[in-house]
Structure 1
Amino acid sequence: MKRASAYWVERLKLEPHPEGGFFKETYRSLLTTTLGQFPSERNISTGIYFLLTAENFSAFHRIKSDEMWHFYAGDPLSIYVIHENGNEECITLGLDLDKGEVPQAVVSANSWFATEVKDGGDYGLVGCTVAPGFDFEDFEMANRDLLVEQFPLHKDLIIALTRV
């Protein structure tokens, strides 16, 4: 029998994402804007499907826009956020509200964040909406040593969820 995650990758035509997992852009607003913190014009909003499996994780990275996560299928995801002030937050994205899971969550612009399938899970399928729209020019993959130097209290988490 085919794994459920393989079904979603095949049916939604997902491709490997540089931070880990699989994705497909599903929306890019035709409206654009120019804002001071961005080096060039940005689409107002973008959206993707994003899938993680137990065998991989989304490594710590940050973007210059807010990112809203929407849970669709599978197992809950843990989103680890290190805010600009150094505070850490773990958001559990899922549908079991009685266990503290939320079906939607926002990661604020410029926060470092990483995601993995919650303990014992197989995969999680979510959507991510970014506003102003995502552009790889605004994407920064974390350097493990530099992030640990900046946030030593979160060393173990950073080491576990970075690749270099």
Structure 2
Amino acid sequence: MPDRREILTGAALAGAAALSPGQANAQGSTMHQGMTYQDVERLLDLKPNATCGYVRVTYLSEERIAPGGLPAPFESGRPMGSALYFMLTPQQPVKLHRIRNDQFYHYYLGDPIEVLMMLTDGSTQQHIVGPDLREGHRVQLFIPGNTFHTARVIGTRQWFLGGSTEWPGVDPQDVELGNADELARRFPSVSEQIRTWPLPAKG
């Protein structure tokens, strides 16, 4: 006679099989379909941020790497790691900036974003961070330390909710705003994106 765990497992598998892929996707999408960016801002207690739309730091390690324990530019010591929520809207994109720390962008809810990265070797990359794996979206995007970048929302809901994790953890001196004119000269192949993506969307 099957035990209780086998019965529960079978029931769960049967329930999943009864849903078509379209039905399962529809159920998942309704979780945030009716939400506005104001709802997300309120529910997660997000605040306007100088670089990344609306932000709330969710983790800053209490453990610190001691001064001298890391190479430059972190020789003064840093938290072991940090993490935050960030939400973007057409009016509040990711502004041109870089942080010294390696980081990952993570997709959570809402529309995808286009991310433009200007790497230290002079190359550029463009990626979409979003939910549609079949279309090549990434649910995680690695951004190497010291990479200037900007990002904008694409889609119909008009907001993106994601996360950023960084290591070592970010201190205020690790963040640097970018100069659009200077970066456009350094990266002429993406000069239009550099000049236009961080601007507020036209109503």
Please give the TM-score of this superposition, normalised by the length of structure 1. Answer: 0.91
Residue of 162, 171, 178 corresponding to 1:126: 162
Larger relative contact order (CA 8 Å, sep ≥ 6) = 1
Conserved? CA contact 1:144–1:162, under 8 Å: no
Conserved? CA contact 2:52–2:86, under 8 Å: no
Moved over 4 A (4+): none
**Pairs within 5 Å for 1:152-163:** 152-162=188-198
In the aligned structure 2, how far is the partner of 1:10 from the partner of 1:157? Answer: 31
Deviates most, 125-134 or 145-154:
145-154
Secondary structure, counterpart of 2:191 in structure 1:
helix
- Over 3 Å counting, the alpha-carbon distance change for 1:73 and 1:162 in structure 2 is closer
Conserved? CA contact 1:76–1:121, under 8 Å: no
Q: Which residue of 1 aligns with 2:53?
A: 21
In the aligned structure 2, how far is the partner of 1:122 from the partner of 1:157? Answer: 19
Identity %: 28
- Aligned residue-pair number: 162
Q: Which residue of 1 aligns with 2:21?
A: none
In the aligned structure 1, how far is the partner of 2:151 from the partner of 2:157? Answer: 13
Rg larger in structure: 2
Q: Which residue of 1 aligns with 2:39?
A: 7
Please list every run of 5 or more consecutive structure 1 residues that lacks an aligned counterpart in the other structure.
Answer: none
Secondary structure, counterpart of 1:155 in structure 2:
helix
In the aligned structure 2, how far is the partner of 1:63 from the partner of 1:152? Answer: 22
Please list every run of 5 or more consecutive structure 2 residues that lacks an aligned counterpart in the other structure.
Answer: 1-33
In the aligned structure 1, how far is the partner of 2:124 from the partner of 2:154? Answer: 17
CA RMSD of aligned residues (A): 1.6
In the aligned structure 1, how far is the partner of 2:156 from the partner of 2:108? Answer: 18
